[in-house]
């Protein structure tokens, strides 16, 4: 990987960021518990372009903080009670595809058979994005069962939030009430674990024979796609309101029907603005977008998170 330092941060910071990343090139022969759930296009492009991927060290604060917090917690545990960050590998074959499945659970309680995982993330991820954590810990459970012959009786994630506010926890039902908090994924059956692993390995394995530009396009969900939205603004004294009256309409017809309802309650003029959809992951979170032909097409199409147009 190539590490950039455009703000001239000290060498100590750069070294810490660099060491927080794996120093080994991405191997397609291995597939980790987290990589299983990655879009095949992203994982394969990372492997093929590992030496070209750029990382700006000034943008790694949250990752480094999470790495250090995680390291401190795990290194303070008693090895008589816990199996601590043990790397587990297991040969896995489905059809004609062979992979080595690997994982490194944070902690495994030897007597209770509980996998404990520590994560640092945003409140948004906790509320909307827990499914990937369920998958990761169930792969760990499969590895511990199959490779080590040990029982897994429960799963637990301890989550530290980087943007938690106590006042918000008192307002919203789904908002976490404490920081940190505990989330307990459902422990899948052995068949569910195997089927998930097998299906994902087939998906990744079949894609690996394709050239870069023919790799499967990431799904809208994988791209964190925000769909087109029709927002309604009220005209007051010849000027549109600074905020949308309603910004949840999925179609122009729905927006027109909503304006009709508004006019029945209160006279006035309204306009509709189309907020174009936006692939948030492609623009903001993907470290291989410069090698992705789909992303290049987005750029050429000038997709923009603030791409708004007024409807007639």
Q: Where are the domains of the chain?
A: 2-214, 225-310
Q: pLDDT tens, 129-146?
A: 789 999 999 999 999 999
Is the predicted pLDDT of residue 216 greater than 70, yes or no? yes
**Token duo for residue 91:** 């040969």
The better pLDDT of the pair 157, 304 is held by 157
285: which residues sit within 8 A by CB, 6+ positions away? 224
Distance CA 114, CA 194 (A): 19
Fold adopted by 2-214: Lambda Exonuclease; Chain A (3.90.320)
Is the predicted pLDDT of residue 310 greater than 70, yes or no? no
% of the chain beyond a pLDDT of 70: 96
pLDDT of residue 312: 52
DSSP string, the chain: -EEE-TT---HHHHHHHHHTS-SSPPPTTEEETTGGGS-HHHHHHHHHTGGG-EEEGGG-HHHHHHHHHHHHHHHTS-TTTEEES--EEEEEEETTEEEEEEE--SEEETTTTEEEEEEEE-HHHHHH-THHHHHHHHHHHHHHHHHH-----EEEEEEEESS--HHHHTT-TTS-SSSSEEE------HHHHHHHHHHHHHHHHHHTTS-GGGSPPPPTTTTTEEPPEEEEEEEETTEE-SS-SEEEESSHHHHHHHHHHHHHHS--EEEEEEE--EEHHHHHT-TTGGG-HHHHHHHHTT--TT-EEE--
Q: pLDDT tens, 25-43?
A: 778 999 999 999 999 999 9
Q: How confident is the model at residue 303 (pLDDT cuts 50, 70, 90)?
A: low
pLDDT of residue 265: 86
Candidates 224, 234, 229, 226; CA nearest to 252 is 229
The better pLDDT of the pair 166, 311 is held by 166
Asked if 139 and 115 count as a contact pair (C-beta separation under 8 A), the reply is: no
pLDDT of residue 147: 98
pTM over 0.95: no
Tell me the average pLDDT of the chain: 92
Q: pLDDT tens, 275-302?
A: 888 899 999 999 999 999 999 999 887 6
Is the predicted pLDDT of residue 304 greater than 60, yes or no? no
Question: How confident is the model over 46-62, as a mean pLDDT?
Answer: 94
Question: How confident is the model over 116-123, as a mean pLDDT?
Answer: 94
**Token duo for residue 67:** 């790495």
Asked if 33 and 139 count as a contact pair (C-beta separation under 8 A), the reply is: yes
Question: How confident is the model over 114-141, as a mean pLDDT?
Answer: 93
274: which residues sit within 8 A by CB, 6+ positions away? 228, 229, 230, 231, 252, 308, 309, 310, 311
């Amino acid at each position: 990987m190539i590490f950039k330092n455009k703000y001239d941060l000290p060498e100590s910071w750069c070294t810490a960021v660099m060491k927080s990343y794996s120093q080994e090139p991405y191997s397609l022969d291995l597939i980790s518990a987290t990589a299983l759930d990655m879009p095949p296009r992203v994982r394969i492009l990372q492997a093929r372009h590992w030496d070209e991927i750029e990382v700006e060290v000034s943008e790694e604060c949250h990752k480094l903080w999470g790495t250090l917090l995680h390291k401190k917690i795990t290194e303070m545990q008693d090895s008589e009670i816990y199996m601590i960050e043990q790397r587990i590998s297991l040969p896995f074959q489905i059809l004609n595809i062979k992979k080595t499945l690997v994982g490194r659970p944070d902690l495994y309680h030897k007597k209770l058979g509980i996998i404990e995982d520590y994560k640092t993330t945003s409140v948004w991820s906790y509320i909307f994005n827990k499914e990937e954590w369920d998958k990761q810990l169930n792969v760990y459970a499969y590895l511990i069962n199959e490779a080590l012959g040990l029982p897994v009786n429960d799963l637990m994630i301890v989550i530290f939030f980087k943007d938690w506010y106590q006042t918000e926890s008192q307002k919203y039902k789904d908002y976490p009430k404490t920081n940190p908090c505990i989330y307990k994924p459902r422990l899948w059956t052995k068949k569910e674990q195997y089927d998930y692993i097998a299906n994902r390995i087939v998906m990744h394995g079949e894609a690996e024979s394709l050239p870069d530009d023919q790799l499967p396009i990431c799904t809208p969900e994988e791209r964190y796609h925000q769909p087109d939205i029709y927002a309604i603004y009220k005209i007051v004294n010849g000027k549109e309101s600074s905020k949308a009256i309603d910004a949840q309409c999925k179609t122009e017809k729905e927006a027109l029907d909503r304006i009709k309802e508004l006019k029945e309650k209160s006279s006035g003029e309204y306009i509709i603005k189309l907020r174009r959809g936006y692939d948030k992951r492609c623009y903001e979170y993907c470290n291989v977008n410069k090698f992705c032909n789909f992303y290049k097409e987005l750029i050429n199409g000038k997709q923009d998170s603030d791409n708004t147009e007024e409807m007639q």
